[in-house]
Structure 1
């Protein structure tokens, strides 16, 4: 079944945004970021015969999304790194996103499924790994621990080794830290600001990058934060005295 013209218009806009970000990364950051992996994502979004599959194996032409495999960028924050023999590093992102088209730019949760998996690789006398993910918890999944619907969780064995060298580290499955939902576009600000801050500062000077961030913050973060603020009723703009907002969230643009 081919995707409707209306839904393709939406998907083409998302493909256009990813293309614009890819070009910005290539021009501003350079060849150290492998933007070519986005080409297949863009092509799928533009393909009216492609409908992403959900976890349960079903498809719905009103659902859009993409998978990104092995997006890489340098680790440029090595000033406090340990072990001290590490001389270079790399960030590797794999992600899966599924979302309802009708919930975009509304106050609904924009995503059905989200898995944003990051592996940090450090190279010294040997190769070291650290990982974390930001994902969406499926509400009907049974669990003993609290699960914020969107959360960040660290992974000390991202390579899934049967015998990881954890040294003196103690590894446990918790905590799951409440976190904002992110797509690839907002995720670029998250990754560069934390791991490649020189690139982030350069990207912030680009009008197109700022506009992309503003648009996706409106679509993805506004419903999230409005829902949280609604805990304290009535929510009044005159009561906002804690400023600037960038001290709370440095990647707000």
Structure 2
């Protein structure tokens, strides 16, 4: 099976943005090991023979397609300072944050169609820190694309949703950690726009490493790739909501978009 030329061009553009992101992260002293975790994704995007198997319809099996693309990134870790945050236990001042993502999709021309950017998205943030009693504490966030066709639960499932916990909390190793008196449940699932690695890392840095985030935002190259990522992921999400409300308003807009979503570039 040969890759579609338009899809390959699209994938090369994604690879180029990830390579630029690596350069930018190196300039703000992010650990080299974390930066190198991006290499596998770049390799997959550049490989013409890599056509991930994708479930294009809930009634279909997963199949490879000339239009399919995807990548995964694991092992991206940064150290974060918690000393200025509201937290428990208060004795944890530093922690490590691991960000991982696995995604795939079907290429389409955005000038001809506004559609869901992904067929699969799993996005995990796991924060671990030690208290003075040498107990290890864990906090986990999970963003994913709801798997359509699975047995439905009673709770609502926005197609893209954030939740505290997620499957990471159910991992065997995490079951051994100390959660104190906290109660962790699946609900609610907070509706959220989808994110690829670039938009996702921007989200992570803006919330957990704001000093690094502000340094990166001074570089116009960083702003350029963030805008590109947001056009791929946030734009179709918002366009779909706007269409639902038949949005066409010639009135002056006094509600600033960056107040609604500070990460917008």
The question of a shared fold, defined as TM-score above 0.5 by the shorter chain, is answered with yes
Deviates more, 1:124-133 or 1:96-105: 96-105
SS of equivalent residue, structure 1 residue 230? helix
What's the CA shift string for 1:143-168, capped at 9, x where partnerless?
Answer: 21111111001118264444553322
SS of equivalent residue, structure 2 residue 6? helix
Once residues 249 and 129 of structure 2 are traced to their aligned partners in structure 1, the CA distance between those partners, rounded to angstroms, is: 47
Alpha carbons 2:136, 2:178 under 8 Å: kept: no
Once residues 236 and 17 of structure 1 are traced to their aligned partners in structure 2, the CA distance between those partners, rounded to angstroms, is: 34
Match of 1:246 among 244, 248, 258: 258
Number of matched pairs: 252
Structure 1, unmatched stretches of 5+, are none
**Residue 40 of structure 2 is aligned to residue 40 of structure 1:** yes
Compared CA separation, residues 79 and 20, structure 1 to 2 (3 A): same
Give the TM-score normalised by structure 1: 0.91
Once residues 183 and 194 of structure 1 are traced to their aligned partners in structure 2, the CA distance between those partners, rounded to angstroms, is: 17
Once residues 234 and 43 of structure 1 are traced to their aligned partners in structure 2, the CA distance between those partners, rounded to angstroms, is: 41
Structure 2, unmatched stretches of 5+, are 56-60
Once residues 247 and 11 of structure 2 are traced to their aligned partners in structure 1, the CA distance between those partners, rounded to angstroms, is: 36
**Residue 126 of structure 2 is aligned to residue 114 of structure 1:** no
Q: Which runs of structure 2 are paired with 1:206-221 in the superposition (5 Å)?
A: 206-221=219-234
Q: Match of 1:131?
A: 140
Give the TM-score normalised by structure 2: 0.87
Once residues 33 and 77 of structure 2 are traced to their aligned partners in structure 1, the CA distance between those partners, rounded to angstroms, is: 6
SS of equivalent residue, structure 2 residue 101? strand
Q: CA offset at residue 178 of structure 1?
A: 0.5
Once residues 178 and 137 of structure 2 are traced to their aligned partners in structure 1, the CA distance between those partners, rounded to angstroms, is: 9
Once residues 179 and 31 of structure 1 are traced to their aligned partners in structure 2, the CA distance between those partners, rounded to angstroms, is: 29
Alpha carbons 1:77, 1:196 under 8 Å: kept: no
Once residues 177 and 220 of structure 1 are traced to their aligned partners in structure 2, the CA distance between those partners, rounded to angstroms, is: 17
Q: CA offset at residue 20 of structure 1?
A: 0.6
